């Protein structure tokens, strides 16, 4: 039981509890012993037919109240109820919870150990485990990534495709879920100016194709090499360690129009995936990662049409 904030409130609770019991005892004594009217059957008659009787309270009420009073006193001696007094049994909600948690941990220790010993691809074959993972995903991840992990345009990425912004190795996926991810794409408007940003956005639409070699892109290619390649890679292929996405795969997290891309460059992007280490157990995190591995496709879906994050 959490401690009461001060002994004043503990005392106050004792006064209230003992006070009400004493008032009850007084009431019972007065009704059954001190306050008995002579049983003269003098009746008050209201409105010709309504008669107010004056009969004593039935005796079984008395015994019922006595029994209840005894139970209350015994309860207050055994369990916490009187201020800070913990009761002779030492029972508390906290202990009860800890006890149930321990029982749960003991009961499931063996299956948990088995699950922890399996690789993600082994887990992905286990249909029961994957059913559990689906429910976990709906509760903990679906609000951001969509019920089916298909992503929410401009907000949280599709997790069923082949594009892994932060890497697709088991330990990278596990790290994304456990510790979360904070992307830091700096804003470039001040440094480059609006015109350069638009030219860069045009260039990114064709980067990786023959057309990108045209003379009109020379300036953009130079800017990219100077300012962007440090994170996005020399040919825009991305760097999972920094969460810098592949800019050549035709998949755009924040929308595929030149405007959306220019917006990303001008203002920067700071996508944040929250950490789940405190909310989920290790087994739960491994189940989720295995489920994502099992769903991860080999193709890229259509890019979200428009960015919704800024609207
Ligand atoms: C508050 C919204 C939110 C919740 C809840 C959330 N995510 Fe995310 N998640 C994101 C965002 C946003 C990103 C992209 C971060 C970025 O821009 O780099 C992301 C990225 C990821 C990535 C990395 C994807 C990649 O391509 O590398 C994985 C894996 C992931 N989330 C899994 C999960 C799982 C599993 C859960 C549930 C336990 C979950 N997320 C819950 C918002 C969320
Ligand atoms: C410090 C590293 C860093 C530098 C430098 C950097 N970026 Fe990025 N960029 C990122 C990261 C990280 C993201 C992912 C942001 C997110 O997930 O919210 C990103 C995202 C983007 C996106 C959005 C991609 C999408 O799929 O929607 C574009 C476009 C982009 N960067 C272009 C550029 C250009 C052009 C430059 C150079 C002017 C540049 N970046 C420089 C790290 C960087």
Query: What pLDDT tens digit does each residue of the chain (311 aa) get?
Result: 456 667 888 899 999 999 999 999 999 988 888 866 655 556 778 888 887 777 778 889 999 999 999 999 999 999 998 888 889 998 999 999 999 999 999 999 999 999 999 999 999 999 999 999 999 999 999 999 999 899 988 889 999 988 899 999 999 999 999 999 999 999 999 999 999 999 999 999 988 677 778 888 999 999 999 999 999 999 999 999 999 999 998 889 998 899 999 999 999 999 999 999 999 999 999 999 999 999 887 665 555 444 444 43
Which ligand lies nearest the alpha carbon of 289?
1
Residue 164 Cα to ligand 1 midpoint, Å, equals 11
Which ligand lies nearest the alpha carbon of 166?
1
Q: How far apart are CA 231 and CA 181, in angstroms?
A: 16
The residue whose CA is least distant from atom 28 of ligand 1 is: 176
The residue whose CA is least distant from atom 17 of ligand 1 is: 271
**Pick from 144, 122, 157, 105: which is nearest to 289 by CA?**
122
Position 310 scores a pLDDT of 40
- Token digits of residue 93: 């909600």
**Ligand 1 binding pocket includes 153 (Cβ within 6 Å):** no
Task: Give the contacts of 245 (CB within 8 A, at least 6 positions apart).
Answer: 163, 165, 232, 238, 251, 253
**Pick from 269, 288, 44, 14: which is nearest to 165 by CA?**
269
Position 1 scores a pLDDT of 47
- Token digits of residue 154: 């401009």
- The answer to whether residues 28 and 65 touch, using CB atoms and an 8 Å cutoff, is yes
**Ligand 1 binding pocket includes 288 (Cβ within 6 Å):** yes
- Other CB atoms closer than 10 Å to residue 142's CB: what's the count? 15
Residue with tokens 């003992």: 18
**Ligand 2 binding pocket includes 17 (Cβ within 6 Å):** no
Residue 125 Cα to ligand 2 midpoint, Å, equals 36
The residue whose CA is least distant from atom 31 of ligand 1 is: 273
Q: How far apart are CA 101 and CA 105, in angstroms?
A: 6
Please give the span between the terminal C-alpha atoms of the chain, in angstroms, as a whole number: 49
Position 213 scores a pLDDT of 82
- Token digits of residue 132: 């559990």
CA dist 206 → 163, 203, 243 (Å): 18, 5, 22
């Amino acid at each position: 039981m959490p401690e009461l904030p001060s002994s004043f409130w503990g005392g106050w609770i004792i006064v209230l509890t003992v006070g009400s019991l004493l008032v009850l005892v007084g009431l019972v004594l007065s009704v059954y012993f001190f306050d008995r009217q002579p049983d003269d059957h003098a009746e008050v008659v209201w409105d010709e037919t309504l008669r107010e009787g004056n009969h004593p309270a039935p005796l079984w009420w008395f015994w019922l109240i006595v029994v209840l009073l005894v139970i209350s006193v015994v309860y207050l001696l055994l369990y916490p109820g009187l201020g800070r007094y913990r009761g002779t049994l030492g029972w508390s909600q906290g202990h009860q919870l800890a006890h149930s948690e321990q029982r749960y941990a003991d009961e499931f220790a063996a299956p948990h150990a088995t699950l922890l010993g399996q690789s993600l691809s082994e887990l992905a074959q286990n249909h029961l485990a994957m059913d559990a993972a689906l429910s976990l995903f709906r509760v903990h991840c679906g609000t951001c990534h969509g019920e089916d992990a298909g992503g929410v345009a401009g907000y949280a990425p599709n997790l069923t495709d082949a594009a892994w912004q932060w890497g697709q190795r088991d330990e990278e996926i596990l790290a994304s879920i456990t510790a979360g991810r904070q992307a830091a794409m700096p804003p470039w408007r001040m440094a480059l100016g609006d015109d350069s940003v638009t030219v860069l956005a045009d260039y990114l639409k064709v980067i990786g194709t023959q057309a990108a070699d045209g003379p009109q892109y020379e300036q953009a290619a130079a800017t990219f090499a100077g300012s962007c390649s440090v994170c996005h890679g020399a040919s825009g292929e991305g760097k999972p360690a920094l969460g810098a996405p592949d800019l050549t795969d035709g998949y755009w997290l924040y929308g595929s129009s030149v405007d959306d891309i220019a917006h990303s460059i001008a203002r920067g992007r700071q996508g944040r995936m929250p950490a789940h280490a405190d909310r989920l157990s290790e087994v739960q995190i491994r189940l989720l990662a295995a489920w994502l591995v099992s769903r991860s496709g080999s193709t890229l879906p259509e890019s979200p049409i428009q960015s919704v994050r800024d609207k």
